Amino acid sequence: MTKKRPEGIERYSAPAGGWGALKAVAETLARQQVIAQGTATLLKANQPEGFDCPGCAWPDPKHTSSFEFCENGAKAITWESTAKRAGPDFFASNTVSELWRWTDHKLEDEGRLTHPMIYDPDTDRYRPIEWHEAFALIGTTLRALPSPHMAEFYTSGRASNEAAFLFQLLVRAYGTNNFPDCSNMCHEATSVGLPHSIGVGKGTVTLEDFDHADAIFSFGHNPGTNHPRMMTTLREAARRGVPIIVFNPLKERALEDFAAPQDPVEMATWSSTRIASAYHQVRSGGDLAALKGLMKRIFERDDADLAGGGPGVLDRAFIAEHTIGLDALKTDIEQTAWDDILAKSGLSFEAIDSAADVYLKAKKVILAYGMGITQHVNGTANVQQLANFLLLGGHIGRAGAGICPLRGHSNVQGDRTVGITEIPNEALLDGMEKAFGFRPPSDKGHNAVEAIEAIIDGRSKALICLGGNLAVAMSDPEATFEGMRKLDLTVHLATKLNRSHLLIGKTSLILPVLGRTDLDLQASGPQSVTVEDSMSMVHASKGFLAPPSAELKSEPAIIAGIAKATLGSKYGIDWDAMIDDYDRIREKIEVVFPDFHEFNTRIRQPGGFRLSVPASNRQWRTESGKAQFLIAPGLDEDPRLREADVLVLTTLRSHDQYNTTIYSLDDRYRGVFGRRDVIFMNKEDLAARGLADGDTIDIEGVGDSTGKSVRGFTAVAYDIPQGSVAGYYPEMNKVIALADHDRRSGTPAYKGIPVRIRDASEVLS
């Protein structure tokens, strides 16, 4: 007799994709009441004359072919192009205190924001305000601050290059580098780690490289949900017989087995393609050990080959010409014992050996990675070890090979490129001076964690958010919420209502923006914006839907409005001209960042253009002028993990969510339906605590996160390595302290939080 599973928990054994994905899209269209225009909207995604899909940063084949079917892209698009509206009537009938009790899903599901709104303390409601009054209020408050460093300017990665560039211009002209951005919570470990390794903080591969790779390594990402169009690429590679080696604690369905909804044969025959040729369930936080194991095996094989009179297995010509640091790396790896590698990674010697074997047989290796690598206290070290691994075989800077960080938001990479950074370099400052005639401040500003700390301490008094849901995305929401409620000014440029907007300061404003799909009409006619994908391709995006309300403004127009009210004629910047015609913004981008030369011409070519990535051509812009093998001594990610009874919590996105946006409570491929209050656990870990599948549990943070907890969740027996547990983001953020972050990049350690788990009936100490 099979035991009854907890409510809403089932086993999903079909391939990912397939008919289930098509059904999900139909349901999404219906729920968002966009059936008539919805299909037409979807067909304009990622077309030469269409808009860029806001779902993820995976490139499309030159943005010239028909849109690849993508269930989660469809969800992102319909969520934005919904017929539902949250207008003045809605705000008049709900107090902020009432709205606070709504779920995150319900807040956003009310629909698109239609009017600029200001909080009225007398009624505890948001009420409409005229745009010019809103701008004046923001300008007056910002000017009244004793120092520009007392304001924080957050960017979420949907903002276009044009919006982000104007935002950094406003902020630098105002006088600070306080640029917390979503990248600080995401791929910051890449931005900090890779420049030392290979001289650039971006990926080196293009989509075409995947056609030529003969081995693909995948670390810590879940493309079936988060980069679904990557599945087309992985599927093609798998069908060509390319080994795909996955390192992930969870058996993500799409990485195992995938049915392509565009493939008539697979759809008609209910067949599918096996994706991973080998699936290694590394322990959460065990990647450093796994990578050192892989490299140890490569060095051992190299030594053996040399001893036998062979040439060795490393790419010695490449290493000699292009790298430094090999000997130090080898010493470090040799000092790392196999026993420790196996214990920390949770993998067998045979598993590591077989993966090393695939690597050594391949001539061209691509390594793709996501949040499973970056969101750890040693995220930067993880990223640098990935680079070491590739450099041993010369797999960077040649066709068919390279490193492929999977960026998150659709333009998070572009926002960084056009100046959203708390640490401006000389080139950026010089460029700004050349373009606008003033030299911006050079002192380091706040990243996301530092901004929240400053807000909590009362050192920062104003927060302006270009999109996003910072308070919910960040660790330790309770402390973050309390801090934000002490602000003098909160301003949110947003498409939809979320919890961050309900954290009321002395003055609080919500400013509704046009989205990607909306027509953006300015004085010179309809405007395009530009975005950069994970592979450094820049292309245009042009919305075409009638905006949800005539009151909406574009992000660039709102930023210009704030700028004029705050800065007046300071530095003689012609904000109006840039809004009348976004070509004028792009002309300035080109002056600041010469890589964008002939920007307005090249962006009009179908497919756009690729920004230069020097490492792709084996030009290394590092301190030494070479690619650098870098060491990360030891293996212990975190000594707290050695304490008794401690498990490592990793936090995940469900299939039906976009970051803090929760589309529904289902997570189809993991077999979870109608709920998110679950923790996936290994059955041995359950048994060791006297727990069973379905028991109610409490989760409490350890170390920096001591005192943070979540109670009353349900334990679910799951295929996950012993010692690792998983729960959903953002629910689990309550267990994570702000101090729990990568020591070098500040990226919160969302994937490696030490916790204790107990039966909810036991009183926690």
Q: Judged by CB under 6 A, which of 282, 351, 362, 573 binds ligand MGD?
A: 282
Q: Contact between 91 and ligand MGD (CB under 6 A)?
A: no
Q: Contact between 226 and ligand MGD (CB under 6 A)?
A: yes
Nearer to Mo ion, 187 or 395 (CB): 187
Choices 130-138, 220-228, 568-576, 688-696 (CB under 6 A): range interacting with ligand MGD? 220-228
Pick from 460, 467, 514: nearest CA to 112: 514
Q: Judged by CB under 6 A, which of 515, 548, 561, 701 binds ligand MGD?
A: 515
d(CA 725, CA 719): 10
Q: Contact between 134 and ligand MGD (CB under 6 A)?
A: no
**Tokens 């059936």 -> residue:** 35
Which positions from 29 to 68 touch ligand MGD by CB under 6 A, shown as an x/- string?
--------------------------xx------------
Q: Contact between 186 and Mo ion (CB under 5 A)?
A: yes
> Is the bond preceding residue 146 a cis peptide, omega within 30 degrees?
no
The three state secondary structure string of 507-541 is EEEEEEECCCCECCEECCEECCEEEECCCCEEEEE
Q: Crossing angle of helices 555-567/161-174, nearest 10°?
A: 10
Number of residues that bind ligand MGD (CB under 6 A): 61
Minimum separation from the CB atom of position 656 to ligand MGD (A): 8
The three state secondary structure string of 539-572 is EEECCCECCCCCCCECHHHHHHHHHHHHHCCHHH
Q: Contact between 733 and ligand MGD (CB under 6 A)?
A: yes
Contact indicator for 99, 87 with CB cutoff of 8 Å: no
The SS3 call for residue 530 is strand
Nearer to Mo ion, 243 or 408 (CB): 408
Beta-carbon contacts of residue 176 (< 8 Å; ≥ 6 apart):
148, 149, 151, 153, 441, 445
Taking CB under 6 A as the criterion, which residues in 461-500 touch ligand MGD? Answer: 466-470, 473, 493-496, 498
Choices 206-214, 215-223, 383-391, 671-679 (CB under 6 A): range interacting with ligand MGD? 215-223
Contact indicator for 406, 226 with CB cutoff of 8 Å: yes
Choices 181-189, 209-217, 296-304, 535-543 (CB under 5 A): range interacting with Mo ion? 181-189
Residue 594 tokens, joined: 């010469």
d(CA 397, CA 315): 13
Nearer to ligand MGD, 325 or 515 (CB): 515
Pick from 228, 233, 227: nearest CA to 69: 228
∠ CA(360), CA(366), CA(367), 5° rounding? 100
Which positions from 140 to 179 touch Mo ion by CB under 5 A, shown as an x/- string?
----------------------------------------
Minimum separation from the CB atom of position 763 to ligand MGD (A): 26
Q: Contact between 613 and ligand MGD (CB under 6 A)?
A: no
Taking CB under 5 A as the criterion, which residues in 379-408 touch Mo ion? Answer: 408
Q: Contact between 419 and Mo ion (CB under 5 A)?
A: no
Q: Contact between 111 and ligand MGD (CB under 6 A)?
A: no
Nearer to Mo ion, 408 or 548 (CB): 408
Residue 548: which of ligand MGD, Mo ion, none does it interact with, CB under 5 to 8 A by kind? none
∠ CA(70), CA(72), CA(77), 5° rounding? 95
Which residues are 15's β-sheet partners? none
d(CA 121, CA 565): 24
Q: Contact between 757 and ligand MGD (CB under 6 A)?
A: no
Pick from 27, 31, 65: nearest CA to 48: 65
Q: Which residues bind ligand MGD (CB under 6 A)?
A: 55-56, 72, 108, 156, 158, 182, 185-186, 219-222, 225-226, 247-250, 252, 282, 284-285, 287, 370-372, 375, 406, 408-409, 466-470, 473, 493-496, 498, 513, 515-516, 555, 650-653, 657-661, 729-730, 732-733, 750-751
